[in-house]
Structures are given as structure tokens and as C-alpha cells.
Amino acid sequence: MLELLKSIESLNHLSAFEASARLGSFTNAAKEMGVSQPAISQSVRKLEHAIGTKLFHRRHRIITLTSAGEMLRHDVYQGFDRILRTVKYLQGQHKGRHVTLSVTTAFANYWMIPRLQDFHDQHPNIDLRVQTTDKYLDLVQEDISLAVWRGDGKWDGYETTSIAKESVMAVASPAWKNSHPAIDKIEDLMSAQLINLEEPHRYSPTWADFFQNFGFKYHENGQGLRLNDYALVLHAVMAGQGISLGWEHVTRRMIDANLLTQVGPWEWNSGKEFYLVWSENAELSQDAKSVRDWIIAASQAPST
């Protein structure tokens, strides 16, 4: 680049030359670039002086390229066109094709992945990147398009739409349920082999919350399996390690597929919901809007 600048003095001279050659007029080139006609003419003369040869034949108000001008025009066109295509590609990667969705590992594994083929069938050209975390991140600062959060839908600086009400039940593997005495009373559930979720960075409902909703005070004996990620909890349940809380929107497909089964008839509707969230201070790209609309539609579709 430094050698090029030394040879032609300024990249503006190349821009003036390119516009003049393409439009066949210093006057039209000046209008396109928003400068005066003498400024364009002067830039082209300086470029000719720097190169050491004429680039245009000038006949009154008509200009035509010399053989040297034709040679330079060809290379400048190719160079500018290649730069333009690269810039447009990078803009597309940043503004459209690259959409980041921030969710928990459990939501990614058990809600997103079973539906991803449908997403790719509908939107084959969208680069959707699922980022797993157990934190509520600053979406603008982290350059995240969309996220799924639990709460009341009211977060300053964010727009939201509900995709699932929080409905919680007790779940186990069919093998565990078949090999243990039936649990018909909630007191039996309280004394069963319970698996506990203890997320370190945000609050998640506990067994104590679950039992309290049904009028029972639960005393944790410290002996149950404790895990800090809900995806791990569900792996442990399917491996027959005990009973865990089961969030309806995550576990429904697993229950329908006979990978999990509900234990007892108790279901707790907490009053909280799971929301699709995006910043109100950063406009969503068209691709991000398509992802948003697809998730909303998928959340309303019956489980299959």
C-alpha cells in the first residue's frame, strides 16, 4: 500500500479516474462524487503526472481513454469490484447471516436441536449460532441477537415475547419408575431419591419451592445428587439416578418419546414464563427477525 501511495500520491486520484472512465465525463464524475469538475480534472492530471503518461484523450468536452488508460481502467475496475464484493460479504456476515441465540444447554439440547432441521428447511441460508450459558448477558455488549430468559418479561432496554409458561412436574426415567414403589402421595415424593439443580449464576426453582406450592415444607437432607446444569440433571434422570423437576417446555418431547415419564399428578404453574428477548436499542437484522419469528411459531406449534 505504501508503495502504491508513493506512486500515485493519493487514492482519491484513482477514485476520480475510475468514475471518469466509467461515466465518460469529468462533469458526471464530479456530480457522482460530490465535488467540483475542476477537482476531478486536477486529480486525473496529478495521476497522469505521477504515472508519467496520459490516461485520457481530451477533445473539448469529450474524453476517451488512451491505451494506457484502458489498461489502468481494467485493473482498477477489478480491484474495486473485488473490494466491494468482500465488503458486502462481511456486512452480510455481521448484519444478516450470523445470528446468535443465547440459551441454556438444556434448552439448546432438548428444545432447539429437535427442531433445527425444520429451521434449516425453512431458512437454509441463515447462519444460526446457538450459544449456551447460565447467565443473563448484556446482548448488545456481547453482540447477541436473541436470548431466552425466565422471568416476568420486564427487563429495561429489552423487547420480549413469551414462548412458554413455566409449568413444572416431577420426572423420572420409565426404568426407574418401574423398579421403585409407586408414588401416589406427595409425601412419598418428598422422601424419594431427588436430584437437585443448583445453578450458580441465576435463580432456578427448587424442590422446596415445588412442595411449598402444594402446602408442604420440604427439608433437604443433603443426600440427593446436586448438579449445576439442567442438561446434566436430565442426563442423570435418564440414567436412572432418581427424580428431578421437569420443565414442561423442555421435557414434553422426551416424555412423548418415552425417555422420561411424569411421577405423580402434580404440576406447578409458577406464574413465571420463558421469554424470547432482544435489545430495543439495536435493530435486529432481517435474518434475526426470521429466527425470532420461527422460534415464536415453533413454540406455539403442537409437540410432535
Domain boundary among 64, 96, 128: 96
Same domain, yes or no, for 117 and 261? yes
Half-sphere exposure of 182 (CA within 13 A, CB side): 3
Question: What's residue 96's pLDDT?
Answer: 47
Q: Are residues 135 and 203 in the same domain?
A: yes
Q: Select from 77, 96, 115 the last residue of a domain.
A: 96
Number of domains the chain contains: 2
What is the domain range of residue 258? 100-300
Domain end among 68, 96, 124: 96
Helix axes 248-256, 230-238, angle to 10 degrees: 30
236 in the same domain as 116: yes
DSSP code at position 243: B
Distance CA 268, CA 273 (A): 12
Q: Quick one: 167 and 113 in the same domain?
A: yes
Together in a domain, 120 and 260: yes
Do 180 and 280 sit in the same domain of this protein?
yes
Give the integer Cα–Cα distance in Å for 71 and 67: 6
Q: For the chain, how many residues are written?
A: 304
Residue 129 shares a structural domain with residue 49 = no
Indicate which CATH number applies to the domain containing 132.
Answer: 3.40.190.290
Same domain, 205 and 177: yes
How many whole angstroms separate alpha carbon 162 and alpha carbon 148? 9
Sequential pLDDT tens for the chain (304 residues)? 556 656 667 788 888 999 999 999 999 999 999 999 999 999 999 999 988 999 999 987 789 999 999 999 888 888 888 887 777 656 655 554 689 999 999 999 999 999 999 999 999 989 999 999 988 888 988 889 999 999 999 999 999 999 999 999 999 999 999 999 999 999 999 999 999 998 887 888 999 999 999 999 988 776 779 999 999 999 999 999 999 999 999 999 999 999 999 999 999 999 999 999 999 988 899 999 999 999 999 999 876 5
Residues 189 and 276 in one domain: yes
Cell numbers describing residue 69: 488508460
74 is written with which cell numbers?
Answer: 481494467
Q: Which amino acid is at 289?
A: K
Per the DSSP assignment, residues forming a β-bridge with 130 are 101
Q: How far is CA 41 from CA 31, 48, 62, 186, 221, in A?
A: 13, 11, 13, 89, 87
Does residue 142 share a domain with residue 246? yes
Cell numbers 458526471: residue: 28
pLDDT of 303: 65
pTM strictly above 0.85:
no
Q: At 62, which CATH number? A: 1.10.10.10
Do 68 and 199 belong to one domain? no
The helix/strand/coil state of 277 is: strand
Q: Which residues are within 8 A (CB) of 68 and not within 5 positions of it... i.e. 6 or more apart?
A: 51, 53, 54, 55
Q: What are phi and psi of 41, to 5 degrees?
A: -60, -40
CA distance 297 to 163: 9
The closest alpha carbon to 48, from 6, 2, 14, belongs to 14
Question: Residue 227 in 3-state DSSP?
Answer: strand
| Same domain (yes/no): 247, 144 | yes
Handedness of CA 129, 127, 288, 302 (dihedral sign): negative
- Backbone φ and ψ for 71, nearest 5 degrees, come out as -65, -45
The pLDDT assigned to 3 comes to 64
